[in-house]
Structure 1
Amino acid sequence: MTQPIIRFEGVSKSFGAQAVLRDFSLDVAPGAFLTIIGRSGCGKTTALRLVNGLLTPDAGRVLVQGEDVAGTDPVALRRRIGYAIQSVGLFPHMTVEKNIAYVPSISGLEGWKGAQRQEKAAALLRQVGLEPELARRYPRALSGGQRQRVGIARALAAGPDILLMDEPFGAVDEITRGQLQDEILRIHRESGITILFVTHDISEALKLGTHTLVMDAGQVLQYAPPSQILAQPASPFVEQLVCRSREFQVRE
């Protein structure tokens, strides 16, 4: 049996008196595209940040590739995990090329200087559907959709095994959002990278995911392929989500 690339074992996490995750357990298979949906405050983003060590659990364990995150060097861990968020967070004083190269450069990875850096940045721009000529521009000269694509390129730059995405397409228009969804599906199919993708949009969750996790109050309500969630909602809350969804193409 294949070992999960990510495992949550009875994880609980609170902020002050507010319990965000409660005895949360989940296995994510290598190469999965896991979409995570639920109400605001249900623990979606907290779960992501536990994976790359930005947060630590109050109880339980999070394992990445069989190693307890609590005992893993955080720098080494984050070299293996890309992170893309809605606000993108590009450095405005750096060119697109330097933004993409930032994590590999500070991590001391080889091949990220001079002409090699240019070649690798250009290849990543092509991978996310952008022209390499954009490498010389600054973030202010890009559209919202272009900045999101650069953010994904930066998250992929160190060759991670896992990509965490926290509502990465939430701030762009509907047409651009659809294009970005298609791009991330293509990247997943071509690379086989494991993706955890937080969204508030049930249509997006069901379109993108090989599996979808529905959360509420810090717990798992349903964890299944999109087709099963559509056919057999596990609770009234899941059924409400499905009923509110727009027309979409469910991923095979």
Structure 2
Amino acid sequence: MEPIICFEHVFKSFGGQAVLQDFSLEIQPGTFLTVIGRSGCGKTTALKMVNGLTRADSGRVLVQGKDVAQADPVALRRRIGYVIQSVGLFPHMTVEKNVAYVPSIAGMDGWKGQARREKTAALLRQVGLDPALAGRFPRTLSGGQRQRVGIARALAAGPEILLMDEPFGAVDEITRAQLQEEMQRIHRESGITILFVTHDIGEALKLGTRVLVMDQGQVQQCDTPEELVRHPATAFVEALVEPQRRLKYYG
């Protein structure tokens, strides 16, 4: 099977500081890949290369077999959902208009009038929200509700890839656990490919069908959660997963 995302010997630096160094990785369709590593290891940089927000200094990033550097960036980003910690909802738009924003500006069929209302309602239900919230503005929602609306907006255009950059870092623990369960269900039901950046090893192991551990711009290990805990490939991975082993995360 051809990978849906492929990094080929990617290098990237900012201000003379190397962020990614000979970074190579293949991601198969339908993977829920959680990405973890300490601050500055290149997690977010790699994520942003998938939708062309950051360009490689050398090497290639391929999405569905096509070089991102050669793609129309606007068309590329409309095909890839993107969720960030700060959500980024438009405050002057209702929930419905926020959710429908990308399909509307892209001129997709079936996103006007009653059809738009029905599709928005379905997306809100998908992320665990009452469709009655569609007419409200972001300022009237809780942090968890806003994050769910952000996920619904990212899913609205039917992307095959969803990028998530520490999306649950700003919500309380109870809401975070609920959002994690929602994402597991959405992944299970849709089969969408998800790249999910986190600083929380427990979250990475819980959500990922595969977990990528990065350090100093390089891959330390990319494996299933079970293999990562039981057979860490480097001393860095060993130190990262040891607390989970002590907690008997995987009995």
TM-score (norm 2): 0.97
Contact 2:10 2:58 in 1 (8 A): yes
Contact 1:203/1:247, CA 8 A, preserved across alignment: no
Tell me which residue corresponds to 1:9: 8
Aligned position for 2:226: 227
Q: Distance in 1 between matches of 2:145 and 2:132?
A: 12
Unaligned runs of 5+ in 1: none
Q: Is the 1:222–1:234 Cα contact (8 Å) retained in structure 2?
A: yes
| Alpha-carbon distance between aligned partners in 1 of 2:81 and 2:247, rounded to the nearest angstrom | 30
Q: Deviations over 1:226-248 (max 9, x none)?
A: 00001011111111111234858
1:114-172 residue CA offsets vs partner (Å, 9 max, x unmatched): 11111111000000000000001100111111011000000000000000000000000
Which residue type is aligned with residue 69 of structure 2?
A: A
Which amino acid letter does the alignment assign opposite residue 150 of structure 2?
G
The equivalences for 1:38-187 within 5 A come to: 38-187=37-186
**SS in structure 2 of the partner of residue 40 of structure 1:** coil
Alpha-carbon contact 1:82-1:155 (below 8 Å) kept: yes
CA contact (8 A) 1:203 1:248 kept: no
Cα deviation, residue 80, structure 1? 1.5
Runs of 4+ that moved beyond 6 A:
none
Q: Deviations for 1:210-238, whole angstroms, at most 9, x for unmatched residues?
A: 00000000000001000000101111111
Corresponding pairs, count: 249
CA distance in 1, matches of 2:123, 2:191: 16
Amino acid at match of 1:40: S
Per-residue CA deviation, residues 77-119 of structure 1 (Å, 9 max, x unaligned), is: 1122000000000111110000001111111111111111111
Instruction: Measure how far apart 1:185 and its partner are.
Output: 0.2
Matched, 1:237 2:236: yes
Paired with 2:94 and 2:228, the residues of 1 have a C-alpha distance of 43
> Partner of 2:197 in structure 1?
198
Q: Which residue of 2 aligns with 1:19?
A: 18
Tell me the secondary structure at the aligned position of residue 63 of structure 1: strand
Moved more, 12-21 or 182-191: 12-21
> What TM-score, normalized to structure 1?
0.97
